[in-house]
């Protein structure tokens, strides 16, 4: 059992991960524990997001990815999906100004063209309002699935090939990276999953080949910056060999 508390000053700023990704899981269980409907958990989870964005930026990390809705989450009851979409709209309306003030550029991973009109409209507005920011990139994964992303990349590469824009001979690992939603970004160094589940759930399938993983039993609505500091502190003690010795 870990008892010592990690502070921001414990983090070695010379060994920061470039890209941190978080699977925001455990909202439903958080609500259930309190005898509340699931959407209360989602609401409380949404309330944590801006603080974690600001804490990440404050540490000096340049890329943060948050998994908000997977391609598999459409299996949930319509009322829950509607609640999640409404919270997305609410998040942008409430926090866009803070993203702008913090110099955060918003980017969406996933096919958000199939979301309801209102979330799409708000996302467009947020992307436009943050497009010139360069202090940090915030990726929100929405209707995102790692396998969908890879199959989409294959299609895009084939289309470019048929148009005569890309030769079969030059297609390599980097080519695939360039056709993913994260084109131009470093792969996640650290992937954090609260809630006690020990799986990726179709998150960053291609990009996570050499990521370090940090799991915790804490539920996302209880996740605060001390957990973020702890995850980064633990990450900095790992020996990343990338197949070397």
List active site positions. 25, 73
Of the candidate spans 20-28, 51-59, 100-108, 179-187, the one that interacts with ligand IPE by CB under 6 A turns out to be 20-28
**Per CB under 6 A, which of residues 85..104 are in contact with ligand IPE?**
none
| Nearer of residues 70 and 185 to ligand IPE, judged by Cβ | 70
Report if residue 26 touches ligand IPE, rule: CB under 6 A: yes
Residue from 197, 217, 224, 226 touching ligand IPE (CB under 6 A): that is 197
Reference 105, options 64, 149, 56, 146; nearest CA is 64
Distance from C-alpha of 84 to C-alpha of 76, rounded to nearest angstrom: 11
Distance from C-alpha of 99 to C-alpha of 235, rounded to nearest angstrom: 26
Report if residue 70 touches ligand IPE, rule: CB under 6 A: yes
Residues touching ligand IPE: how many (CB under 6 A)? 17
Q: How many CA atoms lie within 13 A of 70 on its CB side?
A: 18
Q: Which tokens go with 239?
A: 């020996």
| Nearer of residues 31 and 157 to ligand IPE, judged by Cβ | 31
Burial of 8 (0-12, 13-18, 19+ CB in 10 A): middle
| Nearer of residues 76 and 125 to ligand IPE, judged by Cβ | 76
Q: What is the DSSP letter of 80?
A: H
Report if residue 25 touches Mg ion, rule: CB under 5 A: yes
Q: What is the largest CA-CA distance in the chain?
A: 59
Q: How far is the CB of 175 from ligand IPE (least distance, A)?
A: 28
Burial of 74 (0-12, 13-18, 19+ CB in 10 A): exposed
Lookup result for tokens 């990450």? 235
Report if residue 28 touches ligand IPE, rule: CB under 6 A: yes
Site string for ligand IPE, 137-176 (x = CB under 6 A): ----------------------------------------
Binding site for ligand IPE (CB under 6 A): 23-29, 67-70, 73, 84, 195, 197, 199, 201
Residues forming the site for Mg ion (CB under 5 A) = 25
């Amino acid at each position: 059992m870990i008892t010592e508390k990690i502070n921001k000053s414990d983090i070695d700023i010379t060994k920061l991960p470039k890209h941190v990704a978080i699977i925001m899981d455990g909202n439903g269980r958080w609500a259930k524990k309190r005898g509340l409907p699931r959407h209360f958990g989602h609401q409380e989870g949404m309330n944590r997001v801006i603080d974690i964005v600001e804490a990440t930026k404050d540490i000096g990390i340049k890329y943060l990815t948050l998994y908000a809705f997977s391609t598999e989450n459409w299996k949930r009851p319509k009322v829950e999906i509607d609640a999640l979409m409404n919270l997305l709209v609410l998040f942008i309306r409430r926090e866009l100004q803070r993203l702008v003030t913090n110099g955060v550029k918003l980017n969406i991973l996933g096919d958000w063209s199939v979301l309801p009109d209102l979330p799409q409209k708000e996302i467009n507005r947020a992307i436009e309002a943050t497009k010139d920011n360069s202090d940090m990139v915030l990726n929100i994964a929405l209707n995102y699935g790692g396998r969908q992303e890879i199959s989409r990349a294959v299609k895009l590469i084939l289309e470019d090939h048929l148009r005569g824009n890309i030769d079969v001979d030059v297609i390599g690992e980097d080519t695939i990276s360039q056709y993913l939603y994260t084109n131009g970004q470093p792969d996640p160094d650290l992937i954090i999953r609260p809630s006690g589940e020990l799986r990726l759930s179709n998150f960053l399938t291609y990009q996570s080949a050499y990521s370090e993983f940090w799991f915790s039993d804490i539920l996302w609505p209880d996740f605060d910056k001390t957990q973020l500091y702890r995850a980064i502190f633990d990450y900095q003690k790992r020996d990343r060999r990338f197949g070397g010795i």
